[in-house]
Amino acid sequence: MTIRIHLVGAAGYAAADLINYLARHPHAEIATLESHSAAGSRVCDQFPTLPHDRRIFDGEGTALRRVQRDEIVFLCGERETARELAPQFLAKGARVIDLSDAFRLQRDADGAVYGFPERYRDRIAQARLVANPGCYPTAALLALLPFAEFSANIERIVIDAKSGITGAGRKPALNKMFAEVEGNVHAYGIESHRHQPEIGQELAAVGITAGFIFSPHVVPFSRGILADCYVIGKKPFDLATLRATFERRYASSPFVEVLDNGRVPNLPALARTNDAQLALAVRNGIAHVMCGIDNLGKGTSGVAVQNMNIMCGLEEDVGLGARATVV
């Protein structure tokens, strides 16, 4: 089985990780690497981390001309581009995975399936258009969705999340320069954040309607997210019951590990993998769940490949077999 794949917006951080994952995928064949900004240049010149890839980036419109029915298109650019191009690829019979936020909210979905495999595997398998989740929502939802069993007890939720600088994308900007981020933890989006509606939508979908605060921060490393989620109940939570719930909830999820023996997520170990690590604690009756992921792996490109595998009837971990090693 060969899956022909087209990447549009192929010169960003997410696309670089996709190229790397797909290069070792036994069924993947990259047919198009389309980029407006990098057209005509070599992959290795744009991405020093891919030094042996001498393919040339294609110009705008190439993927739409080449794509055939049932081939996979990854849209890796901005939401406006995705809103314009997704219908055109779907009209040609392609299956589309969009990495932007164009179709994540139900009001914008246009028939898209939210690409969160740990909840929507069956729907993803039948989907023509998958809306890849945001990286912050992925970490938060992995930590919080098992609380659906305790929704009546939840009074408030606090999500304190920290992300590496690659979460802000590859376009140059003053606030992403080393001298601006080094030595600092930068809180932002305090009044509102674009990922908050996405998190709220998916919590409500499992019956969690309690109010929550989402506080994102940028920290001075390249990749990774640590989300500390605090769930305040009307009655105290019990750790043993929570652990049993989480282990049952993720028993069939190959990339999600519920840590034991006091271990906590290790972001360097998760780098360049599609793994997620969860650690649980209860203090003064308040549940504390820590989730660690790579924002470009499980948070973006890794889960995009996981979704592709599900759409194509493959095992979820094909091409994503690098496992995290915790020290």
Please tell me which residue in 135, 229, 291, 312 is annotated as part of the active site. 135
Identify whether residues 170 and 86 lie together within a single domain: no
For the chain, give the mean pLDDT. 92
What's the token pair of residue 295?
């924002």
Identify whether residues 191 and 241 lie together within a single domain: yes
Q: What confidence tier does 190 reach under pLDDT thresholds 50, 70, 90?
A: confident
| 324 has pLDDT over 80 | no
State the pLDDT at residue 327.
35
State residue 81 phi and psi, 5-degree precision. -65, -40
135 is catalytic: yes
State the pLDDT at residue 325.
42
| 212 has pLDDT over 70 | yes
| 11 has pLDDT over 90 | yes
The boundaries of the domain holding residue 122 are: 3-133+299-311
Among the listed ranges 93-102, 172-181, 223-232, which one has the minimum average pLDDT value?
Answer: 172-181
pLDDT tens readout for residues 74-84: 999 999 999 99
Identify whether residues 88 and 188 lie together within a single domain: no
Global model pTM greater than 0.85 = yes
State the pLDDT at residue 290.
98
The mean pLDDT of 138-142, rounded to a whole number, is 98
| 173 has pLDDT over 90 | no
State the pLDDT at residue 150.
97
What CATH number should be reported for the domain holding residue 72? 3.40.50.720
pLDDT tens readout for residues 290-305: 999 999 999 999 999 9
What CATH number should be reported for the domain holding residue 278? 3.30.360.10
Identify whether residues 29 and 118 lie together within a single domain: yes
Question: Residues near 152 by Cβ (< 8 Å), separated by ≥ 6?
Answer: none
Q: What confidence tier does 306 reach under pLDDT thresholds 50, 70, 90?
A: very high
State residue 213 phi and psi, 5-degree precision. -110, 130
Judge whether 321 lies within some domain: no
Identify whether residues 258 and 175 lie together within a single domain: yes
State the pLDDT at residue 261.
81
Neighbours of 193 (CB within 10 A): 17
State the pLDDT at residue 169.
63
| 182 has pLDDT over 90 | no
State the pLDDT at residue 191.
75
Identify whether residues 120 and 16 lie together within a single domain: yes
pLDDT tens readout for residues 229-256: 999 999 999 999 999 999 999 999 999 9
How far apart CA 208 and CA 231 sit, in angstroms, is 11
Q: How many domains does the chain have?
A: 2
How far apart CA 283 and CA 296 sit, in angstroms, is 31
Identify whether residues 154 and 287 lie together within a single domain: yes
Identify whether residues 194 and 48 lie together within a single domain: no
State the pLDDT at residue 177.
67
Identify whether residues 280 and 157 lie together within a single domain: yes
State the pLDDT at residue 281.
97
Judge whether 189 lies within some domain: yes
| 63 has pLDDT over 70 | yes
Residue 318, SS3? coil
pLDDT tens readout for residues 82-122: 999 999 999 999 999 999 999 999 988 899 999 999 999 99
State residue 28 phi and psi, 5-degree precision. -95, 140
* Beta-strand relationship, 3-8 and 72-75: parallel
| 188 has pLDDT over 90 | no
Identify whether residues 286 and 303 lie together within a single domain: no
Angle, alpha carbons 143-148-149 (nearest 5°): 115
